[in-house]
Amino acid sequence: MEINNLYNILFREIEKNRNNTVFEIPDEKKIIYKDFENIINTIYINLKNKQVEPGDRICAQTSKSIEVIALYLACLKIGAIYIPLNFDYSIDELKFFIEDSKPKLFILDKKNKYINNDNLKKIIKLTLLEEISSSDCINIKSNIKTNTFNSNDNDIAAILYTSGTTGKPKGAALSHKNLSSNCLSLNKIWKFSSNDILLHALPVYHVHGLFVAINCSILSGSKIIFLPKFDTASVLEYIPKSTVMMGVPTFYNRLIEHKKLNSNLCKNMRVFISGSAPLTIETWNTFFKKTGHKILERYGMTETGMITSNPYLIEKRKAESVGWPLPEVKLRISKENLNLKDHLGEIQVKGPNVFNGYWNKKNKNTDFTKDGFFKTGDIGKIDNEGRVFIVGRQKDLIITGGLNVYPKEVEDHLNKINEIKESAVIGLPDKDFGETVVAVVVMEKNKNLTPKEIQNTILNKLAKFKVPKKFIFISELPRNIMGKIQKNILRDKYKDI
């Protein structure tokens, strides 16, 4: 009987690829699929020895490593729900995730700054990734077979927290079917094969670096050059040895600044893919001029996986468009409740890739339409060829270097500071990060704080990427008749600072 667990789907061609390299960490190590499977099975047995059962949640806040990918895959195999967490999160944020997801285990590695944190230890026992991935710890007598859990399509494989519109993060619960349908589809349209070498410089706690990049590569038995993070010099060094690169626009903005980037360097590359934030036409054009490559832009979200993609056929790729909906995805532009001109409206999607709702949130009415379409909050249009264009966001979201920040969450923290009367957090254009987080602040009478003092106060509460980089102090926030802060006026007024 065929098992629809994502694990089995990812490894369906493993027999052919057992001796292929799966990961190469420059100057460190190479590992083949066969040995990688052994690490996954070691973790599987260690998790089972810790009584992890299908449906249990496993939180992981670790650095980027082969072992943490093996942990993700071992969770799939057991049927446990994997919850990757950004390394940057504060203790308060972690507390929230633990309360919300009630994990059986909280896994961190030796590089984690909270490893000896008493506040964290008070709420949950910490488990070391190094220990559960080491075969020394296996209880040989345990006699556990590493069978893949026979999951249903709707069983949840992972929860990814996205910072929420209401000020608290929300856990997007993604099923085995959501993830498998998406990577099967991307594999086909992007023509992945076991000859591919993926240059991986993305974080692995996000949909892009984990589900798009890792799932697509493993599914096709390809090799992954696994860089700890994006660093222009090392990416340029490994481009000639790779065939595919996936990145956020910030990566491409940095690469085009470098004089080493040219078409000769990229001659081994099959395709450069971009997503998670808007890619400007300037970046697309400059990259094309310097390398002869037309960046393939795609569009997706944590809640939906990938939704659209430009075509693989180079002549048909187009700058500024995110391409056509993936074969199984229904996409429509809805004008309901919006007063937008021309053919603009909210992008709404339905398909096997779209999640079923947020963890612990029963009421789906705000996120889905009555006929089951997910409301993305992105504003777009479709041209007469069927290509999708994203022109803006209805949701009050800032995307900085590919990471999402909901202003409400930051404002809540700013407004708790006694000296601050009120605040409005906005995203302003930034050449490198796409957008930068800016706080417009009104101080209480006769009170003063420097930007540094404000930053230091909230740094303990919020991940660093959410902390405003710039502060603008004004005496009053602009409001409309209903009393709503007019962020569009602020964005317009300060766009050139």
**Beta carbon nearer to ligand AMP, 44 or 373:** 373
Binding to ligand AMP by residue 299, rule CB under 6 A? yes
The answer to whether 226 and 64 have CB atoms below 8 angstroms apart is: yes
User: Binding marks (x or -) toward ligand AMP, 206..245, rule CB under 6 A?
Assistant: -x--------------------------------------
Binding to ligand AMP by residue 331, rule CB under 6 A? no
Smallest CA-to-CA distance from 489 within 377, 423, 480, 497 is with 480
**Beta carbon nearer to ligand AMP, 393 or 461:** 393
Binding to ligand AMP by residue 277, rule CB under 6 A? yes
Query: Pseudo-torsion of CA 78, 81, 85, 89, nearest 10°?
Result: -130
The answer to whether 286 and 316 have CB atoms below 8 angstroms apart is: no
What does DSSP say about strands 470-473 and 434-443: parallel, antiparallel, or unpaired? parallel
Binding to ligand AMP by residue 276, rule CB under 6 A? yes
Q: What span, in angstroms and rounded, lies between the C-alpha atoms of 412 and 168?
A: 10
257 strand-pairing partners:
none
Q: What span, in angstroms and rounded, lies between the C-alpha atoms of 91 and 156?
A: 26
Segment 351 to 380, residues that bind ligand AMP, using CB under 6 A? 376, 378
User: Binding marks (x or -) toward ligand AMP, 101..130, rule CB under 6 A?
Assistant: ------------------------------
What does DSSP say about strands 388-393 and 470-473: parallel, antiparallel, or unpaired? unpaired
Binding to ligand AMP by residue 272, rule CB under 6 A? no
Give the strand order in the sheet containing 296-301: 29-32, 21-25, 223-226, 197-200, 244-247, 271-274, 296-301, 305-309, 324-325
Binding to ligand AMP by residue 278, rule CB under 6 A? yes
CB 393, min distance to ligand AMP, A: 5
| Joined tokens for residue 9 | 């789907």
Segment 392 to 411, residues that bind ligand AMP, using CB under 6 A? 393, 399, 404
Segment 154 to 183, residues that bind ligand AMP, using CB under 6 A? 162
Binding to ligand AMP by residue 271, rule CB under 6 A? no
DSSP 8-state code for residue 123:
H
Q: Which residue is nearest to ligand AMP (CB)?
A: 302
Binding to ligand AMP by residue 84, rule CB under 6 A? no
**3-class SS of residue 376:** strand
- Applying CB under 6 A, the span of 20-28, 40-48, 295-303, 468-476 interacting with ligand AMP comes to 295-303
Helix (H), strand (E) at residue 385: none
CB 160, min distance to ligand AMP, A: 8
- Applying CB under 6 A, the span of 52-60, 83-91, 151-159, 296-304 interacting with ligand AMP comes to 296-304
**Beta carbon nearer to ligand AMP, 254 or 493:** 254
CB 297, min distance to ligand AMP, A: 5
Smallest CA-to-CA distance from 491 within 412, 438, 423, 441 is with 438
Smallest CA-to-CA distance from 467 within 433, 417, 425 is with 425
**Beta carbon nearer to ligand AMP, 240 or 386:** 386
Residues, the chain: 497
Binding to ligand AMP by residue 301, rule CB under 6 A? yes
Q: Which residues of the shown chain bind ligand AMP in the complex (CB under 6 A)?
A: 162, 207, 275-278, 297, 299-302, 322, 376, 378, 390, 393, 399, 404
